[in-house]
Chains A and B, each alone.
Chain A
Amino acid sequence: MTERPIYITAATHISMQQPLDEQWLTEPILHTEPYVRSIDPNFRQWLNPLEARRMGKILKRALVTASEAMTRSGINNPDAIITGTGLGCIENTELILEALCRDGEQTLKPTYFMQSTHNTISSLIAIHHRCHGYNSTYSHRGVSFDAALLDAFVQLSLGDIATALVTGNDELTPSYFNILKRLGYVGNPRQVPAGEASAAIMLATEPGDNPLCRLEQCRLSYGTPPLDTLPRDVDTVMLGINGHDANDELYRQIATLYPDATLLRYKHIFGESYTASALGVYAAAAIVNAGVIPAAMSLDGKASSAAAPRRLLVVNHSDSRCLSFTLLSKP
């Protein structure tokens, strides 16, 4: 594999922060409720009503973050569109499940089914923008986005493609929040809010006019976390700490490996979800680009005095079994 530099040339989000901008860098909204839905932009700016009439929230958000990443990067026909989603279009899935369980196997609404499969998101982006390139979707719990990013990273590194749009999308319905709460994943005392995620990241082997950062490494593993493989030559580490012990223990262990680095957390600002790491990588890219670290993101209060990050490692795990890391650097 030849070492080709890979750049993040645009990154966008719709989340529990102000949508599609970086206002959170200076004025983050700190939610205190256990369950927070995303702040949506006015979708009409991007979607005509006839086109949007079948789309649930997750599809509208995905299409808007993707379209904005394309516009801002100037890459309107990426070689690949790859999405990570933990639960896919869960709202439509629940509507079908509910109908099946309550009314039996009577006539089901075709639209719900058509837009219940996970790959609806990536293919909708492709259909809307007429992109005939590589198109795929990963759905693997808390590392769904991470797998999508890995797929793009490998193809870019191999030289098979030159540009890739990688997205992370999950919606959270009130009923699924309750289900996840019962499982003990969210809604615990002192835990960050459960939320929704939509992030789109444009990767390219050419920097373009204004790259946010470089994507240096991307790894995903399963089983006993191979902590010895984590890159050490970094100045900043962003961890997925969410205030729940079962989740945080591994991050605390990782934090001890970096006594000299600035430690950051992001989930109290962007919420916990199956694709929270998409917002983590988005936020990390924005921080490297801006050269500032918001005080609210500091894990130990030391960040505000820290220098602008040059090498930022984002670490994410799912069930302490799937470990991923993403290394970003200043170009």
Chain B
Amino acid sequence: MSTIAITGAGIVSAIGVGKSATLAALRSVASGIGPRRYLHSTHDEFPLGEVKLSDSEMKQRLGITAEPTTRTALMGMLAMDEALDQARLLRGADGARVALISGTTVGGMDKSERYYLDFLAGDSRNAYIDTHDCGATTQMIADRYGFFTLATSISTACSSAANAFVLGANLLRAGMADIAVVGGSECLSKFHLNGFNSLMILDREPCRPFDATRAGLNLGEGAAYLVLETEETALRRGATPLATLSGYGNACDAFHQTATSPEGNGAFLAMSKALKMARLKPADIDYVNAHGTATPNNDATESQALIRLFGKELPPVSSTKGMTGHTTSASGSVEATICLLALQEQLVPVNCGFGGNAMPDGIRPATDPVPPRKLRHVMCNSFGFGGNDTSLIISKL
């Protein structure tokens, strides 16, 4: 199989717009989680990881005035511009077959939840009805560029963006696309803020992944896309490979819709599959960006799966959700981009929010940004409701 290269990445999250702002925040451990500012909600008790731009500020940056738009689509376009620019695709694809695989669950919900009663009554806000579904958001993003020959949307809750890598890379391996742009976008919505609240898994304080005192997650929002292509295609186009996608694994915990099995079976299987595909041993992994939502359930079971897989050879592990918040459907690509930066800069993103109280049976997350050994292979975990678990491995060239 030919090597799958990553030739571009773009990211938007609570810790910044773009890779350099993100890297600066990672280095200075500047969390983007804070009081609600942009989301229309009465829940002021929950800190959020909001992207620090209003919809109209995003539109201004993007140079668009047209409606309808959704916040998910706008964030997606900001990230996409950066990814395509780096991969030398922003001016067009020169006839290459370019697939867009985008993960989202919220889609246009930010508008639906504002205008739903108007929809029912047949009022004038109808422009937003047709932007409700996941596919509409993906097409809005795709249509900004005009060259995508395939566009589809994955919705596996919090692992959506990670699963986009799987189809994207498979299309390249099967020769059914020349380039695959993969990732996801998800804005905050009242819908899922209240939904997570109903499951009683939101913390009223800044979240504390892998800490014994953790009491739930903080929701965030964001978007990130990565450009995948074979090394040959990259070479031919004059794009620069930044790293490789060396393995990926998707498995189902098959235990419960919202809780994970005590042993973290799905997580273990997903990581094992990714290692097998990359032909690596657990000891070859130099850093793991954990799913690490800071819910009591996730961090305990992910710890179990990590300990089971890595044993005594556990590399530095951290969750970056203490900085970005949980960007739900976008988290797979937001954190894959953070992994890419970690590899390029030889930096371990530290586990913001860990107060030094490790769980009795858990892993102790990384607090030192200096890697104990050279980072060559990094693993990125994303787990979704329903036990939709996916693990990616990104490697140095």
Q: Taking beta carbons and an 8 Å cutoff, which residues of A are in contact with B?
A: 1, 81, 86-88, 96-98, 100-102, 104-105, 107-110, 113-120, 122-124, 126-127, 129-141, 143-144, 147, 150-151, 154-155, 157-158, 160, 175, 178-179, 182-183, 219-223, 226, 274, 318-319, 321-322
- Give which listed residue, A115, A130, A134, A138, contacts B152 with CB less than 8 A: A138
Asked whether, in the complex, the Cβ of A132 is within 8 Å of the Cβ of B170, the reply is no
The answer, yes or no, to whether B190 is at the interface (CB within 8 Å) is: yes
- Please give 17 more A-B residue pairs, beta carbons under 8 A apart, in addition to A134-B251, A135-B251, A139-B155: A100-B116, A113-B198, A118-B156, A118-B157, A120-B257, A120-B386, A123-B388, A127-B254, A127-B257, A129-B254, A138-B153, A138-B154, A141-B139, A150-B152, A157-B174, A182-B129, A222-B150
Asked whether, in the complex, the Cβ of A123 is within 8 Å of the Cβ of B257, the reply is yes
Asked whether, in the complex, the Cβ of A105 is within 8 Å of the Cβ of B133, the reply is no
Asked whether, in the complex, the Cβ of A97 is within 8 Å of the Cβ of B166, the reply is no
Q: How far is the CA of A107 from the CA of B199 in the complex (A)?
A: 10
Q: How far is the CA of A321 from the CA of B175 in the complex (A)?
A: 22
Give the number of residue pairs across the A-B interface with Cβ within 8 Å.
203
Q: Mark B364-378, 1 if CB is under 8 A from A, else 0.
A: 000000000000000
Beyond A108-B194, A220-B150, A223-B148, whether A158 also contacts B135 by CB under 8 A is no
**Top 4 closest pairs, chain A to chain B, by CB:** A123-B386, A113-B195, A140-B135, A141-B135
Asked whether, in the complex, the Cβ of B250 is within 8 Å of the Cβ of A136, the reply is yes
Can you give 10 A-B contacts (C-beta < 8 A)? A86-B133, A96-B194, A105-B41, A110-B198, A117-B155, A132-B251, A139-B155, A140-B134, A158-B174, A223-B146
Separation in Å of the A102 CB from the closest CB of chain B? Answer: 7
Asked whether, in the complex, the Cβ of B191 is within 8 Å of the Cβ of A100, the reply is yes
Residues of A within 8 A of B156 (CB): 118-119, 122, 135-137
Mark the stretch among B50-58, B118-126, B344-352 that contacts chain A: B118-126
Asked whether, in the complex, the Cβ of A140 is within 8 Å of the Cβ of B174, the reply is no
Separation in Å of the A181 CB from the closest CB of chain B? Answer: 10
The answer, yes or no, to whether B256 is at the interface (CB within 8 Å) is: yes
Asked whether, in the complex, the Cβ of B117 is within 8 Å of the Cβ of A117, the reply is no
The answer, yes or no, to whether B83 is at the interface (CB within 8 Å) is: no
Beyond A81-B252, A117-B105, whether A182 also contacts B154 by CB under 8 A is no
Interface centre among A147, A175, A178 (most CB of B within 10 A): A147
Separation in Å of the B161 CB from the closest CB of chain A? Answer: 12
Asked whether, in the complex, the Cβ of A127 is within 8 Å of the Cβ of B388, the reply is no
Residues of B within 8 A of A222 (CB): 100, 139, 142, 148-152
Residues of A within 8 A of B116 (CB): 97-98, 100-101
- Give which listed residue, B117, B120, B142, B387, contacts A123 with CB less than 8 A: B387
Q: Mark B168-192, 1 if CB is under 8 A from A, else 0.
A: 0011011110000000000000111
Beyond A1-B174, A120-B257, A182-B122, whether A140 also contacts B150 by CB under 8 A is no
Beyond A119-B386, A138-B155, whether A107 also contacts B198 by CB under 8 A is yes
Separation in Å of the B184 CB from the closest CB of chain A? Answer: 12
With both beta carbons as reference points, the residue of chain B lying nearest to A322 in the complex is identified as B151
Q: Mark B130-167, 1 if CB is under 8 A from A, else 0.
A: 10011110110010001111111111110000010011
Q: How far is the CA of A114 from the CA of B257 in the complex (A)?
A: 7
- Give which listed residue, B155, B170, B197, contacts A88 with CB less than 8 A: B155
The B368-397 residues at the A interface (CB cut-off 8 A) are 384-388
Asked whether, in the complex, the Cβ of B157 is within 8 Å of the Cβ of A119, the reply is yes
Separation in Å of the B386 CB from the closest CB of chain A? Answer: 3
Separation in Å of the A144 CB from the closest CB of chain B? Answer: 7
The answer, yes or no, to whether B112 is at the interface (CB within 8 Å) is: yes
With both beta carbons as reference points, the residue of chain B lying nearest to A96 in the complex is identified as B191
Residues of B within 8 A of A139 (CB): 133-135, 153-155
The answer, yes or no, to whether B255 is at the interface (CB within 8 Å) is: yes
- Give which listed residue, A124, A136, A221, contacts B163 with CB less than 8 A: A136
Residues of A within 8 A of B149 (CB): 221-223, 226
Asked whether, in the complex, the Cβ of A135 is within 8 Å of the Cβ of B388, the reply is yes
Asked whether, in the complex, the Cβ of B195 is within 8 Å of the Cβ of A119, the reply is no
Asked whether, in the complex, the Cβ of B190 is within 8 Å of the Cβ of A132, the reply is no
Q: How far is the CA of A130 from the CA of B258 in the complex (A)?
A: 15
Asked whether, in the complex, the Cβ of A136 is within 8 Å of the Cβ of B166, the reply is yes
Beyond A132-B266, A220-B150, whether A154 also contacts B195 by CB under 8 A is no
With both beta carbons as reference points, the residue of chain B lying nearest to A127 in the complex is identified as B254
Residues of B within 8 A of A127 (CB): 254-257, 386-387
The answer, yes or no, to whether B65 is at the interface (CB within 8 Å) is: no
Asked whether, in the complex, the Cβ of A141 is within 8 Å of the Cβ of B133, the reply is yes
Separation in Å of the A273 CB from the closest CB of chain B? Answer: 13
Residues of A within 8 A of B117 (CB): 101-102
Asked whether, in the complex, the Cβ of B252 is within 8 Å of the Cβ of A132, the reply is yes
The answer, yes or no, to whether B43 is at the interface (CB within 8 Å) is: yes
Asked whether, in the complex, the Cβ of A117 is within 8 Å of the Cβ of B385, the reply is yes
The answer, yes or no, to whether B60 is at the interface (CB within 8 Å) is: no
Residues of A within 8 A of B361 (CB): none
- Give which listed residue, A109, A120, A154, A183, contacts B170 with CB less than 8 A: A154
Separation in Å of the A153 CB from the closest CB of chain B? Answer: 9
Separation in Å of the A168 CB from the closest CB of chain B? Answer: 14
Beyond A154-B174, A321-B139, whether A135 also contacts B250 by CB under 8 A is yes
Residues of B within 8 A of A102 (CB): 117
Residues of B within 8 A of A150 (CB): 152, 167
The answer, yes or no, to whether B253 is at the interface (CB within 8 Å) is: yes
Residues of B within 8 A of A109 (CB): 198
Asked whether, in the complex, the Cβ of A113 is within 8 Å of the Cβ of B257, the reply is no
Asked whether, in the complex, the Cβ of A133 is within 8 Å of the Cβ of B252, the reply is yes
Q: How far is the CA of A322 from the CA of B149 in the complex (A)?
A: 9
With both beta carbons as reference points, the residue of chain B lying nearest to A155 in the complex is identified as B170
Separation in Å of the A321 CB from the closest CB of chain B? Answer: 7
The B26-83 residues at the A interface (CB cut-off 8 A) are 41-43
The answer, yes or no, to whether B113 is at the interface (CB within 8 Å) is: yes
Asked whether, in the complex, the Cβ of B170 is within 8 Å of the Cβ of A136, the reply is no
Asked whether, in the complex, the Cβ of B384 is within 8 Å of the Cβ of A119, the reply is yes
Residues of B within 8 A of A143 (CB): 135, 152
